[in-house]
Amino acid sequence: MSADTLEIVQVGDPVLRATTKQLDPKELASRDVQKLITLMRDTMRAAPGVGLAAPQIGVSLAIAVIEDTAEYQKGHAAEKLAALERSPIDYHVIVNPVLRFVGDEMVEHFEGCLSFASFNMVVARSRRVHVDALDEHGKPLSIDATGWYARILQHEIDHLNGIVCCDRMDSRTLSTGENFPRYWGSKTAAEAKAIVGTKKL
């Protein structure tokens, strides 16, 4: 952690379980909140990650930053990126987001979380979503997203509602970061679930 980044809190910290406070335009425009957004961006990039919500740096405000660069996608096969419906996403901020699922189609993929460090797991998410929010300047923002972008939005907005991806995971697919590339990196979610099977406890 450098002077320009913040510590990312981990599962077990109560701040990750609280519903965040929404901001009014005056609060959003304040020097402190604008500085916080800049620090969130820099912390996300340093991690690196494709999204970061304010609770992940210990602040219970309804703010998230998102960015998925082409650089992050290097080294992934074109077929895998296509299967994930993943393409570069420019940096942006969402404040007070309201999420709506579009259609009933659910998609399962492996997911990770900066606040559940060094673990990956299969999570089912809606394939398409619509989000209404404010940007960092308080201007209305309307987003229609599909595939990986929709997944990122759902993941970060979950954080703003006290939900972590491990709450939604198929628990038998949970893998350490070390074992993930060894056993599961080349597998689809369906293939991984077929291998680990299901058991009733």
Closest CA to 107 of 49, 15, 188: 188
Distance CA 56, CA 66 (A): 13
Residues forming the active site: 156
Backbone angles phi, psi at 118, to 5 degrees: 70, 25
- How far apart, in whole angstroms, are the C-alpha atoms of residue 33 and residue 27? 7
- Which sign, positive or negative, has the C-alpha torsion 158, 164, 165, 167? negative
Q: Is the peptide bond before 48 cis (omega within 30 degrees of 0)?
A: yes
Region of residue 175 (phi > 0: left; psi between -120 and 50: alpha; otherwise: beta): beta
Q: How far apart are CA 194 and CA 65, in angstroms?
A: 34
* End-to-end Cα distance, the chain: 41
